[in-house]
Chains A and B, each alone.
Chain A
């Protein structure tokens, strides 16, 4: 299953979008994916692909650009040899979460 196939499946199931609309050149705005919708989609992609999408400004306007962006992250992840997993908070900053 390609990245496009997987993202399309998510958009059909969870966002109730028409599969026919989900072409590589489809504009995210036309699909109803505004900034809030994209925040949700990125969150779901992180879960399903085991990725950590960096919190940096990336301008994505089409579905194809999203697919390309995710594929780049997958390549980078695999090259680094790390299995992407979300580190539990306790491992990131031991005990810090207790306060205030």
Chain B
């Protein structure tokens, strides 16, 4: 198996548009969550979201922009940023062995919502001829492949909240085994249509608004947590074999060293501690790590009652008496839950945490929960504490548990 380096990072996120900015926001605990101001927001019980400051017209000419849902616009811009960061010019033959691996949970849901509004709301048949292209889940990956002329596999993964961890893991597997030489991998999500927000609300998974400060409404692992806050954005990484990266003198953000993937088969939404623990163990095995070698974890940490206690139990199952010495960060407290892009953004934050050797804080953790009794790095970053080896957890509705194992460069 070949070692795989991350040489490029591109982000479009509620907490920033560059690796530096997202890391600083996460480190300082600056939340991107706020009250949502959009038509129909008044129909939401808790109109909260982590939105992206983004002007598509600044990035696309109108003829292309009309074909791209917000989710594709985020993805294409993040991919440009990742390739710019990687400074990786590909030759024609290299493009044959380069692929796109993209996760998205909800695809072009904003465009589809708009189409349904035309059809059912306005009772009109004037559906735009571009709607299928805007709505299809594989559009973000396809646009990235076209723009960068990547002729290898262009794959889209849709495993709900673990989509982009799966995308990065599957790309890693192909690079590690030599089937591919360059991959751009990650996720994109733009789920903030009224239809989607109402559907998430109907599941009773969304957080109540914090009465003091809406920005603190997502409280992973805190006793007073009340749910997740939806976010939007994209995060993509350029992956290549470590040897190739070293040979071309590329700056290396870190390494992907393992990937575990398991499925809970007991219930469509209820997480299983055993299933999550199995995914963590699988990631350790694929990385050739023992549990004792893991320094820190970016938790799935959604802020729902069920997730955070079950995830805590899964960590205890794997790490045993050492569980309280593994530092656990739940960065969704500041960037919200980006669904199909969450794992990728958290992988990026984990790589940056390793690179800067700072354990990122779990913000808004004011009330300890007896069921969540590990070290979640509450409310304040811990410099010098991230260590060398991290896991990034993503656990999904549908039961797809994905864990990435990461190592600091050098």
Q: Which residues of A contact B (CB under 8 A)?
A: 14-16, 32, 36-37, 39-40, 42-43, 47, 86, 88-90, 92, 97
Contact = CB atoms under 8 A, between A and B. Distances in A.
B324 interface: no
A16 B128 contact: no
Contacts of B124: 86, 88-89
B128 A43 contact: yes
Nearest to A13: B62
Interface string B140-156: 00000000000000000
Contact of B62 (A15, A32, A36): A15
B123 A88 contact: yes
Contact of A89 (B61, B62, B123, B128): B123
Interface in B120-172: 120, 122-126, 128-130, 133
Given A16-B62, A88-B124, A89-B124, A43 B129 contact: yes
Given A16-B62, A86-B125, 17 more contacts: A15-B62, A32-B63, A36-B129, A39-B129, A40-B66, A40-B129, A43-B128, A47-B126, A86-B124, A86-B126, A89-B119, A89-B123, A89-B124, A89-B125, A90-B123, A97-B120, A97-B123
Contacts of B119: 89, 97
18 contacts: A14-B62, A14-B66, A15-B63, A16-B61, A32-B63, A40-B128, A43-B126, A43-B129, A47-B126, A86-B124, A86-B125, A86-B126, A88-B124, A89-B124, A89-B125, A90-B123, A92-B125, A97-B123
Contacts of B61: 16
Nearest to B63: A15
Contacts of A36: 129-130, 133
Given A15-B63, A16-B62, A16-B63, A40 B130 contact: yes
Q: Which 6 A-B pairs have the closest CB atoms?
A: A39-B129, A88-B123, A90-B123, A89-B123, A89-B125, A43-B129
SS of B interface (majority):
loop
A32 B64 CA distance: 12
A15 B62 CA distance: 7
B interface residue count range (under 10 / 10 to 19 / 20 to 34 / 35 or more): 10 to 19
Contacts of A37: 63
Contacts, number: 38
B121 to A, nearest CB: 11
A92 B66 CA distance: 29
Nearest to B67: A36
A16 B65 CA distance: 12
B320 to A, nearest CB: 53
A39 B66 CA distance: 13
Contacts of A40: 66, 128-130
A60 to B, nearest CB: 16
A14 B63 contact: yes
Contacts of A16: 61-63
A6 B344 CA distance: 46
A47 B119 CA distance: 16
Contacts of A97: 119-120, 123
Interface string B93-130: 00000000000000000000000000110111110111
A15 B61 CA distance: 8
Most chain B CB within a 10 A radius of its CB, from A32, A39, A40 = A40
A15 B64 CA distance: 9
Contacts of B122: 88
Contacts of A92: 125
Nearest to B120: A97
Nearest to A39: B129
